Structure formats: structure tokens, C-alpha cells
Amino acid sequence: MEKYNVGVIGATGMVGQRFLTILENHPWFDVKVLAASGRSAGKPYAEAVGDRWAMKTPMPEKFKDIIVKDAETDVDEIAKEVDFVFCAVNLSKDETKALEQKYALAECPVMSNNSANRFTDDVPMIIPEINADHAKVIEAQRKRLGTKRGFISVKSNCSLQSYVPALYPLDKAFGVKDVLVCTYQAISGAGKTFERWPEMIDNVNPYIGGEEEKSEKEPLKIWGEVKDGKIVPAARPNFTAQCLRVPVTDGHMAAVFVRFENKPTKEQVLACWKNFSGRPQALDLPMAPKQFINYYEENDMPQTKLCRDLDKGMAIHTGRLREDTQYDYKFVCLSHNTLRGAAGGAVLMAELLCAEGYIDHKE
Ligand SMILES: NC(=O)c1ccc[n+]([C@@H]2O[C@H](COP(=O)([O-])OP(=O)(O)OC[C@H]3O[C@@H](n4cnc5c(N)ncnc54)[C@H](OP(=O)(O)O)[C@@H]3O)[C@@H](O)[C@H]2O)c1
């Protein structure tokens, strides 16, 4: 198969670095361009990152000498060199929106990890196993932008990528009414390591700015449907969330309480999780986990350190399912925040959009 040429915008950051570790040997995607801010532009990648390399594996040799481009001023040049870009930048919402639109208008599809366009109603927010069909809104977006190839597709916030996959198949089968969730989120979610955030060692921080709102609102867009060229968010389930920062490098855990319209048996819940799969599994996409939702019978599982990296860090892990006195059930779930929750989720989304014909090879 002819490979797609890709660029990584924000390549020096935490998510950008994660992209490069995933894409180093990717069977479909070949990284041709690395871009970041003007501070990094013009330098070889290794020098631009300096002591900020935060991955547990060494920086891939093949990227070290690539000269970093300026993500804001080199748009046209970058768009000419690649078939699409991944984007994870630390800019304000308006600046991010403007930057992503510049690439789309230059006929370069954007696979975004940023939150700026998550509520643009003709921009799909895709968890590939769940709402792959939202990609059809891209046609309306291209019409609005006046583009042939260019469009923006986003992935959702990392906090919800454990509990939304666990709840979605249950909703289809039994109707989910109310959800109360507390998340326990890793420091890499803030783009940090313990070296750069020593205050988090032996500590819990009860506040993550904007996270609770995202955790309650974004699931409703994912649950929504495409109507008249827009994604109309669902009116339910009702979500309420508290999000805490905990001293863990990678992996967001969530404690979930759920109330159903038709309460299933425990066996029905487990069967639902075991049997749930989506387009990525049907298409056998390279980044897709073989088993999407894994349930553990042991009381002390899933544990962050033991489970986060399994199946390319793309699987969802659930455990401790039991009846509750106020809700119908409670359980815990876990996903890797920079793999499934960020770069890995965006790579899977890109694979899906290539396989479904939304991204082609440029002539
Ligand atoms: N960390 C996670 O788990 C996670 C999960 C989901 C989504 N996200 C989102 O992903 C994005 C990046 O997060 P991160 O944790 O990777 O942040 P980060 O480590 O702070 O990296 C930010 C990146 O943005 C670049 N940048 C800053 N100003 C820029 C400009 N003016 N033009 C172009 N590039 C610029 C930086 O380049 P320089 O090195 O040159 O400054 C760097 O490459 C954010 O929108 C974040 O919300 C993060």
C-alpha cells in the first residue's frame, strides 16, 4: 500500500512526542514534517525538544535531525508536502481555531487533539468504535469552507475515554438515564512529568480547569446524530462529573455510578462489554485494539500501571462492577490518556478516515 505523508503540528509537546513514538513504524503513515512554534522553528527536532523529551522510550533516531518548521507561517509549504496533519498545540481557543482552519483551507485535512473545534457543529468529534458515522458531516463542512480535500476532525477530551466507551453499548441495550463520574487523572494530561511538576509527588489536586464541563458536555455530542449538515447533540444521558489530578504518570481512572431505564443483570452488562466492537475492529485498522473493552474479575483490577499499556494502550479496562444503593450499578474504568485519550485516538481516527475514503493521497 502507498503510504500517506503526514505532518505533526505541535511535534515538540507531550502529545506531539507521543505521536512520534506511535508513528515511528506505522504501516500506513510516513512522517515528513514536524512543526511547532517560532521558538522551535529552524532547529533540528532533538535540539528543539532539548530536555523536554517525556516519553519512556528514547526519541526515535529518524526524527532527531528533521528541521522543525513554523506551524503558523509555513502552512502552505507544509500543506504541499503532506496528505494530512495531526495537530496538538498549546494556543488559545481562537488562535487554535484560526490555525486549524488555515490548514483545512490549504486543502490539508487536520486530525486535531485540541479542544477549540470540539463544538463546531459540522466538525466531527470521533471515538472510532462509537460514532464513526459522524464522519459524514465532513461533506457539509467542506461545503462551508469551500474546500475539496481540507476539513477538520477532532477527538474528544482524554477524561471521558474510559467511561464513554463503557457506557455507550449499555445505553444502546438498556437506556442509560443518569451518570455520576469521578475521574482520577494522570499528570501527563497536563503535559507534565514529575521532573517538571514536583509539587504533584505525594499529592492530589482537586481542580483541573475546564475538565468537568468537558467531561459532562462532550459525551452528548458523541451520542448525537448528523442532521442537515450538523451534529445535533443528544439530550441525555445526564452526566455529572468531578475531575481530580493524581500522582500518576499516565492513565486516567474513572469511578462511575449509573442508573438505567431498564436495569440489566450483571451478566448482561458483562456480555455487552465483551461483545462490543466497532468499525476499527471490522476494518482491522492498525491502531485498533483487538478487544475494545476488557473486564477484570479481580477486586484489585484494573490497575493503572498494569493495564494502561495493554493492546497498544488503546484498550479500555473495566472492573469492580457491582450493584449500588442509590444508583443501579457502580464500576471503575481506565484508559491511557496520551494513547487512547490523545495521540493514539487521533491516529485511529485518521486510519478510519483514510479507510472510509475521507482522506486520499494528494495528486
Ligand atoms: N497531554 C494530554 O494528555 C492531552 C490529551 C488530550 C488533548 N491534549 C491537547 O493537546 C494539545 C497539546 O497538549 P500538550 O500536552 O502536548 O502540550 P505541550 O506539551 O505544552 O505542547 C504544546 C505544543 O504546542 C506548540 N506551540 C506552542 N505555541 C505554538 C504556536 N504559536 N504555534 C505553533 N505551535 C505552538 C509547542 O511548540 P514549542 O515547543 O515550540 O513551544 C508544543 O509543540 C492541547 O490542546 C491539549 O489540550 C492533551
DSSP 8-state secondary structure symbol assigned to residue 125: B
Whether omega for the bond prior to residue 247 falls within 30 degrees of 0, making it cis, is: no
Question: Exposed, middle or buried by CB within 10 Å (0-12, 13-18, 19+), for 247?
Answer: middle
- 16 Cα to the center of ligand 1, angstroms: 7
Mutate to test the pocket of ligand 1, among 86, 90, 97, 157 (most ligand atoms within 8 A of CB): 90
With beta carbons less than 8 A apart as the criterion, state whether 351 and 279 touch.
Answer: no
Q: What CATH number is associated with residue 95?
A: 3.40.50.720
CB 348 within 8 A of CB 287: yes
Residues 148 and 191 in one domain: no
Q: Which amino acid is at 22?
A: I
Q: State percent of the chain over pLDDT 70.
A: 100
Instruction: Please determine, for residue 234, whether its predicted confidence score (pLDDT) is greater than 90.
Output: yes
CA distance 176 to 361: 41
* 261 shares its domain with 307: yes
CA 198/CA 201 separation, integer angstroms: 6
Q: Which domain holds residue 54?
A: 4-157+343-355
Residue 74 domain flag:
yes
CB atoms within 10 A of CB 61: 9
Same domain, 126 and 171: no
Q: Are residues 180 and 106 in the same domain?
A: no
**Residue partners of 363: CB distance under 8 A and separation at least 6:** none
Integer-rounded Cα radius of gyration of the chain? 20
Q: Which of 283, 345, 363 has the alpha carbon at shortest distance from 153?
A: 345
**147 and 184 belong to one structural domain:** no
Number of structural domains the chain divides into: 2
* Pair 295, 318: CB distance under 8 Å: yes
Residue 268, CB-side half-sphere exposure with 13 Å CA sphere: 13
Closest Cα to atom 3, ligand 1: which residue? 189
In a domain, 194, yes or no: yes
* Mean pLDDT to the nearest integer, 275-296: 98
Residues 185 and 145 reside in one and the same domain? no
- DSSP readout, 7-71? EEETTTSHHHHHHHHHHTT-SSEEEEEEEE-TTTTTSBHHHHHGGG---SSPPPHHHHTPBPEET
Helix axis angle for 14-23 and 344-355, nearest 10°, is: 50
Q: What is the pLDDT of residues 11-32, one digit of tens each?
A: 999 899 999 999 999 999 999 9
Residues 209 and 273 occupy one common structural domain: yes
Q: Is residue 249 located within the same domain as residue 126? A: no
Q: Is residue 363 part of a domain?
A: no
Does residue 137 contact residue 230 with C-beta atoms inside 8 Å? yes
Q: Among residues 119, 109, 107, 117, which one has the least CA distance to residue 146?
A: 107
Give the per-residue pLDDT at 257.
98
Are 137 and 283 found together in one domain? Answer: no
For residue 9, being part of any structural domain is answered with yes
Residue 78 lies in a domain: yes
Q: Is 10 in the pocket of ligand 1 (CB under 6 A)?
A: yes
Residue 321 lies inside a defined structural domain of this protein: yes
Q: For residue 307, give the 3-state DSSP assignment.
A: helix
Which residue in the block uniquely carries the three cell numbers 479500555? Answer: 316
Q: Is the CB of 89 under 6 A from ligand 1?
A: yes
- φ and ψ of 35, to 5 deg: -140, 150
User: How many contiguous H segments (helices) and E segments (strands) does the chain have?
Assistant: 14, 14
Residue 196 has what pLDDT? 93
Q: Are 152 and 214 part of one and the same domain?
A: no
What spacing in Å lies between the alpha carbon of 157 and ligand 1's midpoint? Answer: 14
Whether 1 has a pLDDT exceeding 90, the answer reads no
Can you tell me the distance from the alpha carbon of 328 to that of 312, in angstroms, rounded to the nearest whole number? 32
Three cell numbers, residue 189:
494530561
Residue 361 falls within a domain, yes or no?
no
Q: Whole-number mean pLDDT of the chain? A: 97
- Are residues 207 and 167 part of one domain? yes
- 17 within ligand 1 shell (Cβ under 6 A): no
pLDDT band at 363 (very low <50, low <70, confident <90, very high): confident
Whether residues 145 and 244 share a domain: the answer is no
Residue 291's domain is classified under what CATH number? Answer: 3.30.360.10
Q: Is residue 289 part of a domain?
A: yes
Tally of CB atoms within 10 A around 10: 28
The pLDDT tens digits of the residues spanning 126-173 come to: 999 999 999 999 999 999 999 999 999 999 999 999 999 999 999 999
